[in-house]
Structure 1
Amino acid sequence: MKNLFLIIFSLGIFPFMDFANAEQANAGHYHETKMATDTIYLADPTIFLDKGIYYLYGTGSNQGFPVYQSSDLKNWTEPSGKTNGLALFKGDAYGNGGFWAPQVFKNGRTYYMVYTADEHIAIAESDSPLGPFKQKEIKVLSGVGKQIDPFVFRDEDGKSYLYYVRLSEGNRIFVARMKDDFSDILPETAKECITATQDWENTAKSPWPVTEGPTVFKKGNLYYLFYSANDFRNPDYAVGYATARSPFGPWKKSDQNPIISKNLLKINGTGHGDFFKDKKGNMEYVFHTHHSNVQVSPRATGLIRVKFVKNALGSYDVVADASSFRFLMRKK
Structure 2
Amino acid sequence: MKKIFIILFTGLSLNSCSQPKEEETKTTPPPAVVLKDIFLADPTIFYNEGTYYLYGTTTGNSSLNGEGFQVYTSSDKKNWKGPVGAQGGLALKKGDAYGSQGFWAPQILKYNNQFYMMYTANENIAVATSNSPLGPFRNTSKEPLAASVKQIDPFVFIDDDGKKYLYHVRLTNGNRIFVAELNDDLLSIKPETLKECIAAELQWENTQNVSWPVAEGPTVLKKGGLYYLIYSANDFRNPEYAVGYATSTRPLGPWKKATSSPIISRNLIGENGPGHGDLFLDKDNQWQYVLHTHFSATSEAPRKVAIIEMNFVEKDQELQLQAKKESFRFLKTN
Q: TM-score, normalised by structure 2?
A: 0.87
Distance 2:287 2:261 in 1: 18
Q: Which of 315, 319, 330 matches 1:316?
A: 319
Matches within 5 A, 1:1-332: 38-60=36-58, 61-255=65-259, 257-313=261-317, 315-331=318-334
Partner SS for 1:75: coil
Partner SS for 1:88: strand
Distance 2:275 2:316 in 1: 28
Percent of aligned positions with the same letter in both sequences? 58
Distance 2:261 2:177 in 1: 17
Partner SS for 1:323: helix
Instruction: Identify the range of structure 1 (217-226 vs 186-195) with the bigger mean alpha-carbon deviation.
Output: 186-195
- What displacement does 1:39 show? 0.6
Q: State the structure with bigger RCO (CA 8 A, min sep 6), 1 or 2.
A: 1
The aligned amino acid for 1:319 is Q
Distance 1:59 1:108 in 2: 26
Distance 2:163 2:251 in 1: 10
Distance 1:198 1:144 in 2: 27
| Structure 2 unpaired stretches of 5+ | 1-33, 59-64
Partner SS for 2:115: strand
Two-structure CA RMSD over aligned residues (Å): 1.0
Distance 1:201 1:256 in 2: 9
The aligned amino acid for 1:51 is E
Q: TM-score, normalised by structure 1?
A: 0.87
- What displacement does 1:144 show? 2.1
Give the number of the structure whose alpha-carbon radius of gyration is greater: 2
Distance 1:287 1:50 in 2: 19
Distance 2:312 2:261 in 1: 15
- What displacement does 1:78 show? 1.6
- What displacement does 1:188 show? 2.4
What's the CA shift string for 1:87-126, capped at 9, x where partnerless?
0000110000100000000013100000000100000000
Distance 2:82 2:99 in 1: 24
| Structure 1 unpaired stretches of 5+ | 1-35
Distance 2:205 2:259 in 1: 13
8 A Cα contact 1:241 1:257, kept in partner: no
Runs of 4+ in 1 over 2 A off after TM superposition: none
Give the number of aligned pairs. Answer: 295
8 A Cα contact 1:64 1:90, kept in partner: yes
Partner SS for 1:143: coil
- What displacement does 1:59 show? 0.1
Distance 1:211 1:312 in 2: 26
